Amino acid sequence: MPLRFAIAGCGKIAPRHAAEMARQGQVAAVCDIIPERAEEMATSYNARPYLSMDELLSKETIDVMAVCTPNGLHAEHSIKALQAGAHVLCEKPLCISSKDAHNMMQVAANAQRKLFVVKSTRYNPALAAMKKGIEDGSLGDIYSFQMNCFWNRPAAYYANSWKGDLEMDGGTLYTQFSHYIDAMLWLFGEVRSVSGFRKNYAHQGIIDFEDSGVASLEMENGMIGGISWSVNSFRKNMEVELTIIAQKGSVQIGGEYMNKVIYNEASSFCFPGASEGQPNDYGYYKGSMSNHDKVYENLMKAINDDSHPFANASDGLRTVETIERIYKNLSLT
């Protein structure tokens, strides 16, 4: 029997999930508090629409639930789905507090269900090549890194939305750049110490947190690095860029979505197959790389094979803990 999938939250990212679900099984049900959204998504996939998670879970038997609701509801909705017997694929971020992340993981363990999180940027070919170069030693010792995340999010993006609200959004690093915090941890390991600054320059009265920040980091392995982020790039997204300075090479990837090789001067490292891809396109703004096809291919393997490498709740927790730590150590001024 094909797997029965469901989607909680029929917003901008939901169509990417639905398309991949239909390739892997059946989109059985969807829910959203806005009836028109639920109806439109359900009609497209011959699914049943609901206006609440509780109603959906009381009437449907679901194998896998994709949680695509606002950040601040990820924990609540994932827990409900797990308790109802579904595996969960949660959109980034896993949640916006480490306490909630631990609760989610405990519920998953108790229910004997699997809890995964979308980390689609890991499938960017250029980033995956960097990961391999670090692991196989072709870059040698890594001395330092710099990551810059400069996007455009005007006032219209936040209007009449949960985005920008501290309790539902969590902050710019959660909603815009958590994929790239995950990429940093995936490549370089855990953070030992952090310092820096964050400010709200252009979104006063619009968002409850920073629109720009810089942080200096020391990693547990002794490496040093920095991250700079902003949603004030003029008119459009500018870049997500990562530079590595290493013993056997200096390399840089970038472009608007960390999808281009910018610089490669190395003794033996190269970027095989690091072709460009396309971002998630939401109309008047664009998001991170659109790799949900690879997410679902690997999800199917991970459901049946505990050893298959796929981003799980522990990976999501690392990102949440790191963002919490950055925010705790960078006062908003």
Residue 110 has pLDDT above 80, yes or no: yes
286 has pLDDT over 90: no
pLDDT score recorded for residue 288: 52
Q: What is the pLDDT of residue 333?
A: 87
State the pLDDT at residue 1: 84
Residue 29 contacts residue 89 (beta carbons within 8 Å): no
pLDDT tens digits along 164-211: 999 999 999 999 999 999 999 999 999 999 999 999 999 999 999 999
282 touches 273 (CB < 8 A):
no
Contacts for 3 with CB less than 8 Å, ≥ 6 apart: 24, 25, 26, 63, 64, 300
Average pLDDT over residues 147-166: 97
280 in the Ramachandran plot: left (φ > 0), alpha (ψ -120 to 50) or beta?
beta
**Is the confidence at residue 69, as pLDDT, over 90?**
yes
Pairing of β 64-67 and β 212-219: unpaired
* Region 324-329 average pLDDT: 98
Q: What is the pLDDT of residue 283?
A: 56
Among residues 145, 222, 152, 151, the alpha carbon closest in space to that of 183 is found at 145
Backbone angles phi, psi at 44, to 5 degrees: -65, -25
Query: What's the rounded mean pLDDT across residues 13-26?
Result: 97
**H helix or E strand, kind and range, residue 26:** strand 25-31
Q: What is the mean pLDDT of residues 21-49?
A: 98
Helix (H, G, I), strand (E, B) or coil at 333: coil
Domains observed in the chain: 3-117 (3.40.50.720), 121-289 (3.30.360.10)
Question: Look-up: residue for tokens 């993981």?
Answer: 105
Q: What is the mean pLDDT of residues 212-220?
A: 98
> In sequence order, which ranges of 142-261 are alpha helices (DSSP H)?
155-158, 172-175, 178-188
> What phi, psi does 305 have (nearest 5°)?
-140, 105
The whole-angstrom separation of Cα 237 and Cα 12 is 18
Bridging pattern class, strands 224-230 and 212-219 = antiparallel
CB contact at 8 A, 121 and 248: no
For the cut 70, the answer to whether the pLDDT of residue 275 exceeds it is no
Contact 64, 14 (CB under 8 A): no
